[in-house]
Amino acid sequence: MSFGQVAILHGVRAQDSAGALPGTMGRGCGRGTPRALYRCVSAWLSPRGTLAAIAVGGAVAAGTGWRGLVLLAVFFVSSSLLTAGGGRRGPAQVAANGGIAAAAAFLSLGSAGWHIGFAGALAAAAADTWSTEIGRRSAAPPRLITTGVPVPPGTSGGVTMQGSLAGALGAGLIAAAAVLLGLAPVAAAPWIAAGGIAGGVADSLLGATLQARYRCAACGAPGEQPMHWCGGTGILVRGMRWITNDTVNLLATAVGAAVAAAPVALRVAGLA
C-alpha cells in the first residue's frame, strides 16, 4: 500500500455493519509484503475509493510531505482496525472524511498554519470513528444526544459514555502524533484534540437533527438510505434529503479543522 493509498478510510458510521471483532479486517496486514498490503487496500477500499484515496494522499504529500502522510496513516490504520465488519469504502466516503484534511494540507503550501487545520480535521474523523466503533460495543444502549432517549446501536446521533471517551482518545492520539511528527507545536495539541472532540459532537448533533432518516415503505424498517436492502422505497421521516451521512462527516471534519486552527486565525487577524 502506498502512502497515497493509505489515505482516508471511511464514512465513520458503518451503521449497517455487524459482527466482526476489532482488527478482523486488518489480519495479515502487518506482514509488510506487497501482496498482504494489497489485500488490506482491497478489503478497506473499493477500486474507485482507492483512486479517491490516492488523490487525497497526493494533496497531503504536496502540502505536508512525509509527516502528513504518516499522520494520515495513523488515522487510517487505527480507525480501520477498530471498524467492525464494514464493507469497502467508496469515493464519496473517502472525500467526506478526507476532503477537508486534504484541502487544509494542500493550503499548507502557502502557510504552515494550515498544518494545524489538517490535523484538526483528522482528529475529528478519528474521534467520530473511535466513538462509533467502541460505542457500538457498549453494554449500555446509546442515547440520542439531543433528547437522551435510548436508541438502537448504530443510530445517527446516538452516543454512549464509553464511545465518547474513546472519541476523545482518538482525537488525542492524532494531536499527539501531529506534535511528535513536527506538524504542530506542543501548544497546539490541546486545540487539535478540542477540534476533534468538537467535530465528533457536531457529527452527532447533525446526525440527530438534520441528517435524512427514512422508513421503508415495504417492511417498515428505519434507515439512512432512500432505498432499503429489501428493495422497498424509503419514506423521509426526518431531516433533509441532501444531508446524508457523508455530508455530516464532511461538515464535522470542517468543524474540527476550524476549531483547531482558531488560535492561528485569530493571531493572523490581529485579534489574539
Residue carrying C-alpha cell 415495504 = 218
Residue 9 near residue 56, CB atoms below 8 Å: no
Element (H, E) at 180: helix 161-180
Answer with the residue of higher pLDDT: 139 or 21: 139
Which three cell numbers mark 66?
A: 512525509
pLDDT tens digits, one per residue of 146-195: 999 998 887 889 999 999 999 999 999 999 999 999 999 999 999 999 99
pLDDT at 88: 73
pLDDT reported for residue 15? 35
**In which band, very low, low, confident or very high, does the pLDDT at 271 lie, cut at 50, 70 and 90?**
low
pLDDT at 82 exceeding the cut of 50: yes
Q: How far is the C-alpha of 62 from the C-alpha of 35, rounded, in Å?
A: 27
What's the whole-model pTM score?
0.82
Task: Tell whether the model's pLDDT for residue 5 goes beyond 50.
Answer: no
Q: How far apart are CA 41 and CA 37, in angstroms?
A: 6
Closest alpha carbon to 260 in 177, 216, 199, 218: 199
The cell numbers describing 116, all together, are 494545524
DSSP 233: B
- pLDDT at residue 17 above 60? no
Buried b (16+ CB within 10 A) or exposed e, 140-170: eebbbbeeeeebebbbbbbbbebbbebbbbb
Which amino acid, 35? R
